[in-house]
Chains A and B, each alone.
Chain A
Amino acid sequence: MGDLLYNITDWMRGTFLLDWAFWMQETGFSLFMVENFWNVPIAQAIHILSIAAAFGATLMLVLRINGRAGAGLSMEQVSARFVPWIRWGLLVIIISGMTMIFAEPVRNMINAVFWIKMIVLVLMVLVSLKYVGSVRAKALNSGAAWQASGSAKSTGWFIIILWCLIMVCGRWIAYVPV
């Protein structure tokens, strides 16, 4: 596994990604991120807090769909409460994440685990958008007696697993051999 990831990273060194990383490193914003000792830890703390907000909201939504939380509330009420937190949370995750990429462009752009993380992130967002839309539509059509199907219940847990996988990659960006 380590060898495979290293080979992918090594291949990336020969692509345009390296030029991009070097360009990012020369920007004033990149300099700003590294010249103050506290900028990166603060960006990481904001990153973690927004993950907590969006992941916690996703968990509550999935629990409602699985009948394990939000008893007595309709899917519309639960979505109105938690979907904005997932959206805004994701926005803050992406902005704080980008500041961290600019702080260490080469470590991130030339890193197989970083790109696996990005692919899983995009997959998670696309699956979540389609999933929440279709579950809400079904719940609206069925009225108060609505019960999620077995596949809707398990897709919810699949999204939680994707979130966890993204976090696994996030931590291992720092440890994978580059």
Chain B
Amino acid sequence: MMYPEPTNIWESIEYSSLGISIAESTWAFPTLETLHVIGLVTVLGTIFVMDLRLIGKASTNSSVTRMTKDTLPWTWAAFVLAAITGTLLFISKASSYMINPYFLVKMSLMAIAGLNMLYFHFVTYKNVAVWDNASVMPAGAKFAGYTSLFFWIVIVFCGRAIGFTLGIYY
């Protein structure tokens, strides 16, 4: 099959041999989506457990450091899976994604959620020893927990919205 000459970087990605093989395959896109779903529910599920501890609504019989050790390796491993599969999905239709507002909002919110996490780990977490076992969390930890819950819920909505609106913008 012949593809048009790329006119921008996103089309070059889409019409790369990798992009074309994913787009032309009958099983690649759904298989990547399936792995993406398994990865993202693991990311979300473990983040929810951590966030509920941070806002002091659940697991108050566990220290915050204990919860971090229990959940974070799973969050990261699953995030790597979701990011790799997500990138491959993106490559197969790069120019359609780059013009979709829900995709752009989703990527921005993930960047903000990432910054929120970095701020929590490198600033708020520094004196965790003081509130590690507390059931009433300091404002910084609560803020990190509530904003993380909010961002991830909106990210899921945007993710589903992309599937329904891909191709209607051009």
Binding site for B on A (CB under 8 A): 37, 40-42, 44-45, 48-49, 51-57, 59-60, 63, 68-73, 77, 81, 164, 167-168, 170-172, 174-175
Binds A, one of B9-17, B30-38, B140-148: B30-38
Distance A41 CA – B40 CA, assembled complex (angstroms)? 17
B21 within 8 A of A: no
Classify the secondary structure of A's interface with B.
Answer: helix
* B157 adjacent to A70 (CB under 8 Å): no
Distance A131 CA – B145 CA, assembled complex (angstroms)? 32
Chain B interface residue bracket vs A: 20 to 34
Chain B residues with CB below 8 A from A172, complex form: 30, 34
* B58 adjacent to A41 (CB under 8 Å): no
Distance A171 CA – B49 CA, assembled complex (angstroms)? 25
* A171 adjacent to B34 (CB under 8 Å): yes
B24 within 8 A of A: no
Cross-interface CB contact of B156 among A40, A45, A81, A171, cutoff 8 Å = A45
* A63 adjacent to B38 (CB under 8 Å): no
Cross-interface CB contact of B30 among A57, A63, A171, cutoff 8 Å = A171
* A170 adjacent to B37 (CB under 8 Å): yes
Distance A168 CA – B33 CA, assembled complex (angstroms)? 9
* A52 adjacent to B45 (CB under 8 Å): yes
* A73 adjacent to B37 (CB under 8 Å): no
B126 within 8 A of A: no
* B59 adjacent to A81 (CB under 8 Å): yes
Seed contacts A48-B37, A48-B44, A56-B45; 4 additional CB < 8 Å A-B pairs = A52-B42, A56-B44, A59-B42, A164-B38
